[in-house]
Chains A and B, each alone.
Chain A
């Protein structure tokens, strides 16, 4: 509070200048050295690919967004629920916890082909892949929050005869909120990655073609500008989800948590 907050302009201008400088450099180099457009996309072409002109990228973004959000929502609900169950019983936790750690180290996207094999084409395997890839960080972070409640507060709730549900709802879950948000931030980015990787495999047979489908297709037909444009859109999707989570975290934690 003591130092003046940096102005909006001072925050935005330097990185914007840097970006324009780099893009202009790439553009100039590609043009003057006559790099073939099918190998090195001009930044201007990437921007044009995002405009109207039948590249179908915005439509693809919509389907990727739907699948990512569905997978992310499932991760949030299932992940928190699973963590509550794990936190509730020491024995269940001891039995299962090593595997949740193990699964964090497994490159889960590698099972994407199997998901497509099981579920066929369409949005269901894509959303499922987004879920499978993003659920473990939610479980692990929520669980670590739930089991690290201050012992004195647990004692206090016991002293006044609080039920297990009251202790969960009024103490353990709110105390775990900062950890839950850490898990959700990680999960948001992973859900988009999971969706795009599944779309690579679903191929052009599906009816709802997402960004992953477009990336494979445009690589095959040598449109690197459209590939980059699709990657850009996928990044924006992840960023948008991340931002929404940050806003919710800020609104619910600002009064009491040091992270805000």
Chain B
């Protein structure tokens, strides 16, 4: 199955859907992070998750990635073509990529070998993985920085490298946990533009956690709003914006209206 990942036909495969049924997660210290979450994410969908900080957005993302286990309920990833549900641990891991709040690159590796790391861990040969890594690096516009080390890069470039590392396995489900929150406004908007272009070009599902209603409205087709702990879904909203979006959409009245809807939903549930 692994070599298939790197054939060009790969992206004609559809994105991975997600089904979450009555998920509950309680931490060892007794805090209930999530309780009774039901959520369906369609194949190829771009979903934004909004919510007050500390409400359990990251926990939800970790459960979807299979990095954490729920105490109750189920998390499935779905093959859209045959509607077949697949529990975690059945060899679908390489289909899922995760981008953290900080770039989290290995500081002792240059950009190329950092980006090639997922393929290296999956046991893919050096030549193939470095070619794939080079492609992913160019995809995020970091082409001439491939041999630089993380401490020689700006915050925005580090985040691009982190994005390239996630894209290198050509994931069918991309999970992003407030990835651009620490960047300045201009860099953040550029990366948002780039991410949207990547999503439009490659057939993947994206679940994007953010606390910015503007970012959510620009990127996503659909946004859910979580309440504070224990998190419940208090709003599930399909954004009423054109499918083709460029940076200039941010200054349209329609965009302002959609942002306000999300903002009000967030505000209603702020404690």
Report whether over half of chain A's contact residues are helix, strand or loop; otherwise say mixed. helix
| Contact across chains for A256 and B108 when beta carbons are under 8 A apart | yes
Q: Which residue of A lies closest to B118 (CB)?
A: A160
| Contact across chains for A152 and B121 when beta carbons are under 8 A apart | no
Instruction: Decide yes or no whether A62 CB sits under 8 A from chain B.
Output: no
Besides A152-B100, A157-B121, 11 other CB < 8 A contacts? A152-B102, A152-B104, A155-B67, A156-B100, A160-B117, A160-B118, A160-B121, A160-B169, A171-B106, A177-B108, A255-B149
B78-112 vs A, Cβ < 8 Å mask (1 yes, 0 no): 00000000000000011011101010101110000
| Min C-beta distance of B195 to chain A, whole Å | 19
Q: Which residues of A contact B62 (CB under 8 A)?
A: 155
Interface residues of B (CB under 8 A from A): 62, 65-67, 93-94, 96-98, 100, 102, 104, 106-108, 117-118, 120-122, 149-151, 169
Within the assembled complex, what's the spacing in Å between the Cα atoms of A159 and B99? 11
Q: Which residues of A contact B108 (CB under 8 A)?
A: 174, 177, 255-256
| Min C-beta distance of B33 to chain A, whole Å | 16
Within the assembled complex, what's the spacing in Å between the Cα atoms of A158 and B62? 12
Q: Which residue of A lies closest to B94 (CB)?
A: A160
Q: How many A-B residue pairs have CB under 8 A?
A: 57
Instruction: Decide yes or no whether A161 CB sits under 8 A from chain B.
Output: yes
The 8 nearest A-B residue pairs measured at CB = A256-B107, A160-B121, A162-B121, A152-B104, A160-B118, A152-B100, A256-B108, A155-B67
| Contact across chains for A257 and B107 when beta carbons are under 8 A apart | yes
- The residue from B96, B102, B106, B120 contacting A159, defined by CB atoms under 8 A apart: B96
Within the assembled complex, what's the spacing in Å between the Cα atoms of A256 and B149? 7
Interface size on A, residues (CB 8 A): 20
- The residue from A156, A170, A258 contacting B98, defined by CB atoms under 8 A apart: A156
Within the assembled complex, what's the spacing in Å between the Cα atoms of A150 and B106? 10
Instruction: Decide yes or no whether A166 CB sits under 8 A from chain B.
Output: yes
| Contact across chains for A159 and B122 when beta carbons are under 8 A apart | no
- The residue from A155, A174, A257 contacting B106, defined by CB atoms under 8 A apart: A174
A161-193 vs B, Cβ < 8 Å mask (1 yes, 0 no): 110001000110010010000000000000000
Q: Which residues of B contact A258 (CB under 8 A)?
A: 151
Q: Which residues of A contact B67 (CB under 8 A)?
A: 155, 158-159
Q: List 19 A-B contacts (CB under 8 A).
A: A156-B100, A158-B67, A159-B66, A159-B67, A159-B118, A160-B94, A160-B118, A161-B93, A162-B121, A166-B121, A170-B106, A170-B117, A174-B108, A177-B108, A255-B108, A255-B149, A255-B151, A256-B149, A256-B150
